[in-house]
Amino acid sequence: MRTEIEMISLIKDIAFKEENIRAAYIEGSRTNPNAPKDIFQDYDIVYIVTTTKPFRENKEWIKCFGEILYMHYPEENVFYPSDVENCYGWQIQFADGNRMDLHVCTKENALANLELYQILVDKDGIVPYPQETDDKKYWVKEPQEIEFQCACSDFWWCLNNVAKGLWRNELPYAMDVINFVLRPHLKRLLEWEIGIEHNFSVSAGKSGKYFKKYLPEDKYRQFLATYSIAEIESIWNSVIGMCGLFQSTAVEFSKKQNFSYDFEQAKNSLNFLQHVRKLPVNAKEIYP
């Protein structure tokens, strides 16, 4: 597996040799001093070019980076919007284990999307010196009380859809509500808890990938237990566990922040969920 020094040297060499490439920079986890370093870190590379067309039309040039195991063209994916004239990309898994997310972008496109980055090549002095050298932009933001209350209200209200889906034995629907409606609010709440414990000066990572690092061990285990297999009893148990974790975290956080919390809504929502769980499958009424 080629080292970071070897990869960066290759990326620079290609930029210097190709007249159409005017600058190059790296972004992503390799520019973040707080991101864990491991063998799966990819190289997020942007070449600023005069025009993307030659690179799109002659894809053989990608072979200059090494033996390719397999590759994906995100801008050619019909499910996502794209503007290939201004930005075009390749996602490359190399045979030696390295991975690269490579984009060729026009100057206007690239400069409009700069975040955490390091300049590798700049032939014309067009890339401004990075203003951010850490991941502060991604730190957990302290919420306003209205944000906390909205997250709580939405969580407890949408729980009735889980109850309905499970009673009907519509497991894909119920699991989608759990994972795409309820879970984001739970993650948000756990991120806020991490934030308050660390003076809102850390990142919980994409999809909560740093939860294990920052949450107490027992709470992290509780969080993992909210993921279930697609069996009805397992889903019931996991969603009840999710409610318990959400409730305890919300109560604790509201006290620390001196936020109000609607205990009545939470209690009634959970009682409704538990009531529906006991309803016979041939019930004619929710409340006889």
Q: For residue 78, what pLDDT is reported? A: 85
| Whole-number pLDDT of residue 136 | 85
Query: 207: left (phi > 0), else alpha (psi -120 to 50), else beta?
Result: left
Q: For residue range 247-271, list pLDDT tens digits in order.
A: 999 999 999 999 999 999 999 999 9
Mean of pLDDT over the chain: 95
Q: List, in order of start, the domains of the chain with CATH numbers.
A: 4-134 (3.30.460.10), 139-278 (1.20.120.330)
d(CA 50, CA 78): 25
According to the model, what pLDDT value does residue 133 have? 67
pLDDT score at 273:
97
pLDDT of residue 135: 80
- Determine the average pLDDT of the residues in 175-179: 97
**Whole-number pLDDT of residue 19:** 95
Q: Residue 35 has what pLDDT?
A: 87
User: CB-based contacts of 213: which residues, under 8 Å, 6+ apart?
Assistant: none
Those residues whose C-beta lies under 8 Å from the C-beta of residue 227, and which sit 6 or more positions away, are 238
Segment among 129-133, 166-170, 226-230 with least mean pLDDT: 129-133
Q: Which residue has the tokens 């990938």?
A: 209
At residue 87, the pLDDT reads 96
As a whole number, mean pLDDT of residues 226-253 equals: 97
pLDDT over 70 at 171, yes or no: yes
Q: Specify the DSSP element, H or E, that contains 217.
A: helix 217-224
pLDDT tens figures, 43-64: 999 999 999 999 999 888 999 9
Average pLDDT over residues 60-85: 92
- Please give the model's pTM, rounded to 2 decimal places: 0.84
* pLDDT for the residue 188: 97
